[in-house]
Amino acid sequence: MNDELFIDGLGIAHGLYLVLSCLQPDEIVEYDFSWIINGGWVKDEVPLIEVEKIIVLTEGKTDAEFISKSVQMLYPHLHAYYHFIDFDGFKVEGNASALVKMIKAFAASNVKHPIIAIFDNDTAGLSEMNNILRINLPNNIKVIKLPDIPLAKKYPTIGPTGVKVQNVNGLACGIEMYLGKEILLYDNAFTPIRWRDYKDSLGQYHGVLDRKDEVQNKFREMVKQNEKWDMAEMRILLNEMFDAFTN
């Protein structure tokens, strides 16, 4: 009887990944290397494992909530490898400038975990992101933004001159813009962006989605009802996050 753990031709790393992916997060795994070490095959000191889950930092609790839930829905096999900040449990401040402070705190504490910081793809987010990128951050911290998406290239907005369709990438793309077209539709029209504060450093206005709370609650309700819908924009976002350390 063959008592080998893996399939012929399958690398050890891939075999371990398959086994560990099937286990519950609280299960204890023991991998016995003693026969290799005692046989004199290994002479190097056993290294300490310096990293665990990938920590994801966001501007606010809804970003963390929706990205985490989307990973769970779209890529359930990867959800266990990411940890999102608990904003409510520890009363963590949430906004773009607070995210900068969190990044600096993690960098200063010399934490070895891989960390991904995600800024909103809007005026305020890009302004703060530009500030943090002036700092020489350690290699285990990656700073990205919510990606540009085709949906946002021609999106309805409301400003001083009335209703206008324009490109809101880099101006007004908060997490709600990535929840799916069905979430953003009301009465067969997209919920518009409303222009607000002007950012002198970037020379542009900051936009906010109208009826933001309604959009967020619509997402939560559809998740609760186990509904399925096109989440192309969220898939783009998650792939950016998954590839943060490969780019």
- Tell me the CA end-to-end span of the chain in Å, nearest whole number: 45
Is this model's pTM higher than 0.85 or not?
no
Q: Tens place of pLDDT for every residue, the chain, 247 residues?
A: 345 566 677 777 787 888 888 888 777 777 777 777 777 777 776 565 544 789 999 999 999 999 999 999 999 989 989 999 888 777 778 899 999 999 999 999 988 889 999 999 999 999 999 999 999 999 999 999 999 999 999 999 998 888 999 999 999 999 999 999 999 999 999 999 999 877 676 677 889 999 999 999 999 999 999 999 999 999 999 999 999 998 7
Structure tokens at 243: 């590839």
Which pLDDT score is estimated for 3? 52
Residue 13 to residues 3, 8, 24, 40, 136, Cα–Cα distance (Å): 18, 13, 19, 22, 33
Which pLDDT score is estimated for 1? 38
Which pLDDT score is estimated for 139? 93
Strand partners, 27: none
Which pLDDT score is estimated for 2? 47
Which pLDDT score is estimated for 14? 80
Which pLDDT score is estimated for 123? 92
Which pLDDT score is estimated for 202? 64
Residue 84 to residues 19, 55, 62, 119, 212, Cα–Cα distance (Å): 24, 6, 11, 14, 22
Structure tokens at 99: 């995210």
Closest CA to 222 of 180, 188, 173, 171: 180
- H helical segments located in 49-173: 61-74, 96-108, 123-132
Which pLDDT score is estimated for 225? 96
Strand partners, 116: 56, 142
Distance (Å, rounded) from C-alpha 246 to C-alpha 192? 35
Which pLDDT score is estimated for 48? 54
Distance (Å, rounded) from C-alpha 176 to C-alpha 118? 14
